[in-house]
Amino acid sequence: METIDTASICKALGDANRLKIVQTLSGCEKCACVILEALNISQPTLSHHMKILRDCGLVNVRKAGKWCYYSLNCDTLRAFQQFIAALDCRPVESECSGPACG
């Protein structure tokens, strides 16, 4: 499994615009202009969000001339999915018997 910075990914995904960017990139590469239209934000704001998503490894960028094309980094995304899937959310009986545990 690829080593990922889980905290950085969670922080990156903690912003509604970045979540929408990731959803927009699901399934295919997109030009920055398409992402801008989908989010209705300024180009500098998009650049800021894309830098954060690239820095945590969730997004790849491909430059073609003056255009930037973004896609999800599937290796990082799969590693993050595995991290989430490994969390145990079953109810657990408390072993605590102190007065604060009820």
Residue 49 lies in a domain: yes
3-state secondary structure the chain: CCCCCHHHHHHHHCCHHHHHHHHHHCCCCEEHHHHHHHHCCCHHHHHHHHHHHHHCCCEEEEEECCEEEEEECHHHHHHHHHHHHCCCCCCCCCCCCCHHHC
Q: Tally the domains of the chain.
A: 1
Residue 38 lies in a domain: yes
**Angle at alpha carbon of residue 93, lines to 92 and 95, rounded to 5°:** 120
pTM to 2 decimal places: 0.82
Tens digit of each residue's pLDDT (9 = 90 or more) over 9-35:
999 999 999 999 999 999 999 999 999
| Residue 1 binned pLDDT confidence (cut-offs 50, 70, 90) | very low
CA distance 25 to 71: 6
Residue 19 lies in a domain: yes
- pLDDT on residue 23: 96
- The CATH number covering residue 15 comes to 1.10.10.10
Instruction: Please indicate whether residue 91 or residue 76 has the higher confidence score (pLDDT).
Output: 76
Average confidence (pLDDT) over 52-57: 97
